[in-house]
Amino acid sequence: MNKELWKKSVAFHGHECPGLAIGVRACQAAIEKLGITFSEDEEIVCVTENDACGVDAVQVILGCTFGKGNLLYKDTGKMAFNFFNRTNGESLRMILKPFNKEMNRRQKQAYILHSAVDEIFNFSKPTLVLPAKARLFVSAICEKCGEGVAEHKMRLQNGQKVCLDCFEDYSRGW
């Protein structure tokens, strides 16, 4: 376990916890198995399947962020991370293995930080396709609330261009 990466992640996240440890070890596994480093732009992409503490480590260690468009969230509720290297096309999915015994938080964190990554995660190829690079969109003004919104998020309703907050969805139950 890289102590410097752990310290850096804790400083960003705000505290130590097993969830952050999962993210740190996922990043370390991605670095080792894919030969990647910090992503200055969108060279590395992470599609996380959870919105838990470990995602903070992905931002700090690998430079994948929502703002750059190389951190994407697919809500499956699984403690899984999909990493893509745009430079050479390699990719890797890892999902946390179930714990075999009862542990308190401190024990779980220590186990995650000090066990071999192959003991912590199952590895496979992602079933997801590498997402396209982030795009910039023109902003438009909602004709109801007057707020600016990316044009691809606008809807047309009763002849007006409206944002998703102002759009009144119509559904008949299925």
Q: Which fold has domain 136-174?
A: Wheat Germ Agglutinin (Isolectin 2); domain 1 (3.30.60)
Could you read off the pLDDT of 71-81 as tens digits, one per residue?
999 999 999 99
**Higher model confidence: residue 158 or residue 1?**
158
User: Nearest Cα to 2, choosing from 13, 19, 23?
Assistant: 23
Mean pLDDT, rounded, of the chain: 94
d(CA 155, CA 105): 46
Q: What is the arithmetic mean of pLDDT over 146-156?
A: 94
Domain 3-124, CATH: 3.30.1330.130
**Which residue from 3, 20, 6, 18 is spatially nearest to 111, judged by alpha carbons?**
18
Q: For 21-61, what is each residue's pLDDT tens digit?
A: 999 999 999 999 999 999 999 999 999 999 999 999 999 99
In the block, tokens 């503490």 appear at: 53
- Nearest Cα residue to 99 out of 18, 40, 42, 5: 18
**Would you kindly state where each structural domain of the chain is located, as residue ranges?**
3-124, 136-174
In this prediction the pTM is 0.84
pLDDT at 173: 76
Q: Is the pLDDT of residue 2 over 90?
A: no
